[in-house]
Amino acid sequence: MSRTVSRGRRLGLRPADEVAPGQAATAGAGHGQYPRVRPRRNRADPWVRALVAENRLAVEDLIWPVFVQQGGRAREAVPSMPGVERLSIAALVDAVGAAGELGIPAVALFPVVPPALKSAAADEAWNPDNLCNRAARALKAAVPGVGVICDVALDPYTSHGHDGLLRDGRILNDETVEVLCRQALAQAAAGVDVIAPSDMMDGRVGRLREALDGAGRQDVRVLAYAAKYASAFYGPFRDAVGSKAALGRADKRSYQMDPANGDEALRECALDIAEGADMIMVKPGMPYLDVLRRVKDAFAMPTFVYQVSGEYAMLRAAAERGWLDGEAATMESLLGFKRAGADAILTYAAVEAARRLKAG
Q: In this structure, are residues 124 and 159 in contact, taking their beta carbons and an 8 Å threshold?
A: no
Decide if 244 is catalytic: no
Q: Is 205 exposed, middle or buried (0-12, 13-18, 19+ CB in 10 A)?
A: buried
Distance CA 222, CA 194 (A): 6
H or E element in which residue 97 lies: helix 89-102
Q: Are strands 221-228 and 62-68 parallel, antiparallel or unpaired?
A: unpaired
Q: Active site residue: 118, 228, 252, 338, which one? A: 228
Largest CA-CA distance found in the chain, in angstroms, rounded: 79
283 is an active site residue: yes
Is residue 70 within 8 Å of 88, Cβ to Cβ? Answer: yes
Please check whether residue 127 is in contact with residue 169, taking contact to mean a CB–CB distance below 8 angstroms. Answer: no
Which of 118, 252, 283, 296 is an active site residue?
Answer: 283
For residue 352, the tally of other CB atoms under 10 A from its CB is: 15
89-102 vs 350-359: helix axis angle to the nearest 10? 30
**How far apart are alpha carbons 336 and 123 in whole angstroms?**
40
Active site residues: 228, 283
